[in-house]
Amino acid sequence: MAEQAQFEELARQLSAVGAVKRDLARILPHDCPAGSAAVLTLLGRYGSMRMSKLAELLAVDMSVTSRHVAHVAERGWIERSPDPADKRSRILHLTPAGEATLQDLSRRSTELLTERLGDWSDEEVDQLIRLMTRLRASFGDCRTVHPRLSGSAPAEPVPGNPKATVTVASAARAPTIAPVLEQTTRTPA
Amino acid sequence: MAEQAQFEELARQLSAVGAVKRDLARILPHDCPAGSAAVLTLLGRYGSMRMSKLAELLAVDMSVTSRHVAHVAERGWIERSPDPADKRSRILHLTPAGEATLQDLSRRSTELLTERLGDWSDEEVDQLIRLMTRLRASFGDCRTVHPRLSGSAPAEPVPGNPKATVTVASAARAPTIAPVLEQTTRTPA
DNA sequence: TATTGTTATACTCTATAACTATA
DNA sequence: TATAGTTATAGAGTATAACAATA
């Protein structure tokens, strides 16, 4: 069990990591803000899905997701087809233009990270990824995705079948401090 | 050297960590948004300093710092005394009320983190702190503070003299991809 | 002329709440 | 009644640019 001083330092680091995120956001195309990039990235990684799934993955409210999705749809990067199984739902999927944009995004962020983290070892990057994944999981992130198994393993993209429609298994976690932790991404109406 | 897939995963984790930050922000008092909390935390940790130093530590533009500082000053948590050495500057320092608020903030965040990270070991938390610190440093964060020495050690508060006015040693780093990386926290006018 | 700090403006991201269409 | 998604509104955070006072 860690001490108070450590927790305060961790809180400080979390607060300060915003500068890194903004640096990463600055290299995005002008018509593709970070929210749009996140939508494209998740659709590219996990394949077609419904709004509610995407909201879960983005870890933001459905209303926020709706805005981001509308933005990328306006630019023709995704399409929203009706869900035959539920007429209230829409299935989101990347268009070829969206795939192209995604590739551009990937190229840009990889270029920047290659520059910035040139002196990091493979293991160090991996460790940071693992710890951040675990951090999110520890925060009761029921939106943390386990595409294959709902075990305690960190979220990974579907390795061999990245285009399969995701079925998110909610991580079973009993919140203690925040008993009203939202189990959905929805604002109670 | 890490691979592209790792960098993309890291970018994804950075994007997703926002949910953790928002969780942490939700427990703040209603009149103390995250920006104010950051100001108080840094003043408490590094002691009295000028606006420009604080902007450096916050890793945001001076104009943003000015707003945050105005907010906490309005609530009587800090005071802005004139700098005898430079009449343009103001020295920021916590008031007793600010110290009290800071203690409250510390208690709240510690409580939440103790809950959420109850099953983390001391070493794991430490490792995450180290990696995040290094991440910020790698991003040319010339605002990363090394109160004592400007070596490659992670930023730590001044251990024995937390109230000493900080003198930030700029991390010497030659940006390559972004040659116009701001060496100041200032928007070019 | 350059620097410190403030203010005005605009943009992004977010949550809350109210609404519709469907289940 | 409950759920999926949309939209309107408000709040926080940020950057840019223009400004005043001082160096």
pLDDT, tens digit (0-9, with 9 covering 90-100), for B96-153: 999 999 999 999 999 999 999 999 999 999 999 999 999 999 997 533 333 322 223 3
| Separation of CA A171 from chain center | 16
List the single best residue of A24, A64, A115, A132 to mutate versus B (max B Cβ within 10 A). A132
**Are residues B95 and B77 in contact, defined by beta-carbon separation less than 8 angstroms?**
yes
Helix, coil or strand: residue A165: coil
| Mean pLDDT, residues A78-97 taken together | 97
CB spacing of B110 vs A4 below 8 angstroms: yes
- Per residue in A126-151, pLDDT tens? 999 999 999 999 997 533 333 322 22
DSSP 8-state secondary structure symbol assigned to residue B142:
T
Q: Buried (b) or exposed (e) across A66-80, using 16+ Cβ within 10 A?
A: eebbebbbeeebbee
pLDDT for the residue A179: 28
Query: For residue A50, what are the β-bridge partners?
Result: A91
Minimal C-alpha gap between A102 and chain B (Å): 11
Domains of chain A, first to last:
13-119 (1.10.10.10)
Q: State the CB neighbour count (10 A cutoff) for residue B82.
A: 11
Of A151, A76, A131, nearest to B124 (Cα)? Answer: A131
Alpha-carbon distance of B113 to B108, in angstroms, equals 9
pLDDT for the residue A18: 96
Q: What are the backbone dihedrals phi and psi of residue A92, each rounded to the nearest 5 degrees, phi first?
A: -95, 135
Residues in chain A: 189
pLDDT band of B19, cuts 50, 70, 90: very high
In chain A, the residue whose alpha carbon lies closest to the alpha carbon of B120 is A1
pLDDT for the residue A151: 29
List the single best residue of B14, B26, B144 to mutate versus A (max A Cβ within 10 A). B14
pLDDT for the residue A35: 98
Alpha-carbon distance of A44 to A169, in angstroms, equals 19
pLDDT for the residue B105: 97
Helix, coil or strand: residue A163: coil
- For A13-72, the DSSP string reads HHHHTHHHHHHHHHTS-TT--HHHHHHHHHHHHH-SEEHHHHHHHHTS-HHHHHHHHHHH
| Chain A contacts in chain B segment 111-170 (CB below 8 A) | 111-122, 124-129, 131-136, 138-141, 143
**Are residues A113 and B90 in contact, defined by beta-carbon separation less than 8 angstroms?**
no
What the block records as the tokens of A13 is: 């680091």
CB spacing of A45 vs B131 below 8 angstroms: no
Minimal C-alpha gap between A52 and chain B (Å): 16
pLDDT band of A152, cuts 50, 70, 90: very low
Q: Amino acid identity of A181?
A: L
- What CA–CA distances, in Å, run from A26 to A2, A38, A85, A164, B17? 35, 14, 40, 31, 18
- What CA–CA distances, in Å, run from A50 to A32, A158, A161, A164, B43? 21, 17, 18, 13, 45
CB spacing of A125 vs B7 below 8 angstroms: yes
**Are residues A92 and A54 in contact, defined by beta-carbon separation less than 8 angstroms?**
yes
**Are residues B93 and B79 in contact, defined by beta-carbon separation less than 8 angstroms?**
yes
Residues of A in contact with B104 (CB under 8 A): none
Torsion region of A59: left, alpha or beta (phi above 0 gives left; psi -120 to 50 gives alpha): left
- For B76-107, the DSSP string reads TSEEEEE-TT-TT-EEEEE-HHHHHHHHHHHH
- Per residue in B49-77, pLDDT tens? 999 999 999 999 999 999 999 999 999 99
- A45 at the B interface (CB within 8 A)? yes
Minimal C-alpha gap between B139 and chain A (Å): 6
**Is residue A158 over pLDDT 90?**
no
- Per residue in B21-52, pLDDT tens? 999 999 999 999 999 999 999 999 999 999 99
Residues of A in contact with B116 (CB under 8 A): 138-140, 177
Task: Name the more confident of B175 and A161.
Answer: A161
Distance B16 CA to D2 C1' (A): 30
Closest residue, by C-alpha, to the C1' of C19: A189
What the block records as the tokens of A10 is: 């961790």
pLDDT for the residue A171: 31
Q: Which nucleotide is nearest to A32 (CA to C1')?
A: C12
Q: Which nucleotide is nearest to A64 (CA to C1')?
A: C14
Q: What is the CA radius of gyration of chain A?
A: 18
Closest residue, by C-alpha, to the C1' of C17: A189
pLDDT for the residue A187: 52
Closest residue, by C-alpha, to the C1' of D22: B88
pLDDT band of A3, cuts 50, 70, 90: confident
| Mean pLDDT, residues A16-42 taken together | 97
| Chain A contacts in chain B segment 76-95 (CB below 8 A) | none
Counts of helices then strands in chain A (DSSP H, E) = 7, 3
DSSP 8-state secondary structure symbol assigned to residue B140:
T
| Mean pLDDT, residues B165-177 taken together | 34
Tell if the pTM clears 0.85, that is, is over it: no
